[in-house]
């Protein structure tokens, strides 16, 4: 059975997204990263709402939030 993925947090910029992706991969944490970029709006939505967000199984919620908090501070 596949784990259900839920939105964990919003990522503010591409640098944070790349670093978070690297750290989650190293820890073998399953996730999906979704960018808010839309070429039709030329990135306007992304500028207002953040770079994108990350989805993962609920059991990893706290660990992902802690990792993100560490890299964004």
Q: Give the chain's end-to-end CA distance (angstroms, integer).
A: 36
* The pLDDT of residue 51: 85
pLDDT in tens, 19-61: 999 999 999 999 999 987 766 666 565 566 788 999 999 999 9
pTM as predicted:
0.82
Number of domains in the chain: 1
Query: Token match 């999906």: residue?
Result: 32
- CATH number of the domain encompassing residue 23: 3.30.70
Domain that holds residue 62: 5-72
| 45 in Cβ contact with 53 (< 8 Å) | no
Query: Token match 């960018």: residue?
Result: 35
């Amino acid at each position: 059975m596949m784990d259900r993925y839920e939105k964990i947090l919003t990522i503010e910029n591409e640098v944070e997204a790349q670093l978070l992706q690297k750290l989650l991969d190293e820890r073998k944490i399953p996730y999906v990263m979704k960018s808010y970029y839309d070429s039709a709006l030329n990135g306007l939505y992304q500028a207002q709402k953040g770079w994108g967000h990350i989805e993962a199984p609920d059991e990893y919620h706290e660990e992902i939030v802690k990792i993100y908090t560490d890299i964004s501070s």
